[in-house]
Homo-oligomer: A and B are copies of this chain.
Amino acid sequence: MKIEVSDNPLNPWEELQRYEQAQIGALNSGKVGAVATFVGTMRDFNEGDGVTGMELEHYPGMTENHLQQLAEEATDKWGLLDALIIHRVGRLLPNDPIVLVAVWSSHRKESFEACRWLMEALKSKAPFWKKEILESGDSRWVEKNTAGY
């Protein structure tokens, strides 16, 4: 299991490749039948306005611990073989990946449900905050995430 909050650019496919290589003993055991992943990326629009950039803030320590708790809860609940969460903070531009959630499981049902649950839990509970820079030059804090079910 790996949890990372980073201000480095995130390439989700390279991270997945690298993580599977690093975990090759566990993930190459013949038990994995399903890998579900989700990547959230930055759009250039929100609530009818053009968005040119974003600042992502977090609560160092609490954020990582909370993500770790969520990953452990999902692992227990769905019997996952492994889980990976990487979340960007700092300055982002449109099209930049913001978050990667990946889960490894023996069965596809469990992988889909766990991946989606992790994303919703992350969005509703993990301490991150987005500030949008608008085309007008103004900036605004995003006030609330929309529900995803």
In the complex, A31 has a CB within 8 A of chain B: yes
> Which residues of chain B are within 8 angstroms of A41 by Cβ–Cβ distance?
32-35
Interface string of A24-58 (1 = CB under 8 A from B): 00001111111111111111110000000000000
Q: Is A70 an interface residue (CB 8 A)?
A: no
**Could you list some 27 contacts between A and B, CB below 8 A?**
A13-B16, A13-B17, A28-B95, A30-B45, A30-B95, A31-B45, A32-B41, A32-B95, A33-B41, A33-B42, A34-B38, A34-B40, A34-B41, A35-B37, A35-B38, A35-B39, A35-B41, A36-B37, A36-B39, A37-B39, A38-B108, A38-B111, A40-B108, A108-B119, A109-B148, A112-B116, A112-B148
